[in-house]
Amino acid sequence: MAERLSLGGVEGGGTKFDCIVGAGPDDIADSTRIVTTTGEETLAAVADFFADKDVDALGVATFGPLDLDQSSLGFGHVIESPKPGWSGVDVAGSLHAALGVPVAIDTDVNGAALGEARWGAGSGFDPLVYVTVGTGIGGGGVVNGAPMHGRMHPEMGHIRVPRHPDDEFVGNCGWHGDCLEGLAAGPAIAERWGKPAEDLGDDREAAVLLESHYLGVAMASYTLILSPERIILGGGVLGIPGLLEATRGVMVESLGGYLASVPLDDRATDYLVAPGLGNRSGVLGGLVLAESTAGSPR
């Protein structure tokens, strides 16, 4: 019988880093949450947590953009980031140096897609797309069991979407203004309505109308371009009551009956779904990444 591996998983976000030791959602030996500060401080705290855990490998699913070209000298580094103290930080290299174990790294959304594919709502669906809507909008995927990569990692939140005719908000993406993230992420909601998504109150119905327009059109675009077997839509903004259902409706309407082989009924309830792992998709995906690199020199 093969020796059981001890794996470490990390999900890195703009406000917190979640860390776990274990083998799956029902087998977690230890966990902690670390407040995100600068890259140096945060990664030192991550390394301190794992220092006495005797893990065989570490998997890190973190915000980007990241250099994931393994032939590049910058592999495992954060590329230019708006987060203070993170541009150019060598995430994978610094953790490998501190812990002396193999470290696998990918985006937080690719990690979430891997976690959902292994244990959650994506199990048995390949290709699979995972999209999160929160402080930003990001998307990742799994193809033939592996995270989706190309010239770079997917940046699904920065696609252009047609404006809703009743929306005069200019958008707040620092790069593109009114891309999907600039129109539909949490900060866009807060700026447009003057209150965060969880406190919309009487503006909820109008907010759902606009949000579902942008997200539904985007889901239709991902369907046409990537042809996934399932799309998982998560993140804090999806906590707005009725938003997932409204997004399904706009997606189906946007597809207009095209691609009849895609099994979409009027509600698409089996195609566009909520995460099965809740808010643990990314950190559990870190365990899948760790498993993939266990035994390698780095």
| 78-99 confidence digits (pLDDT tens) | 998 878 899 999 999 999 999 9
Give the tens place of pLDDT for each residue, 271-290. 999 999 999 999 999 999 99
Residue 1 lies in a domain: no
Domain count, the chain: 2
One domain for residues 61 and 182: no
CATH number for position 130:
3.30.420.40
Q: What is the pLDDT of residue 4?
A: 73
One domain for residues 164 and 235: yes
Q: What is the pLDDT of residue 166?
A: 92
- Rg of the chain, C-alpha, whole Å: 19
One domain for residues 73 and 178: no
Comparing CA positions, the residue from 190, 186, 182 lying closest to residue 134 is 186
Residue 114 lies in a domain: no
Q: Which stretches of the chain drop beneath a pLDDT of 50?
A: 1-2
One domain for residues 223 and 156: yes
Full domain range(s) for residue 263:
121-275
Q: What is the pLDDT of residue 150?
A: 82
One domain for residues 238 and 133: yes
Residue 32 lies in a domain: yes
Residue 49 lies in a domain: yes
Comparing CA positions, the residue from 153, 165, 108 lying closest to residue 131 is 108
One domain for residues 48 and 92: yes
DSSP secondary structure letter of residue 77: B
Q: What is the pLDDT of residue 268?
A: 82
Q: Is the peptide bond before 65 cis (omega within 30 degrees of 0)?
A: yes
Residue 115 lies in a domain: no
For 154, left (φ over 0), alpha (ψ -120 to 50), or beta? beta
One domain for residues 52 and 195: no
One domain for residues 95 and 196: no
One domain for residues 127 and 242: yes
Q: In this structure, are residues 19 and 34 in contact, taking their beta carbons and an 8 Å threshold?
A: yes
Residue 20 lies in a domain: yes
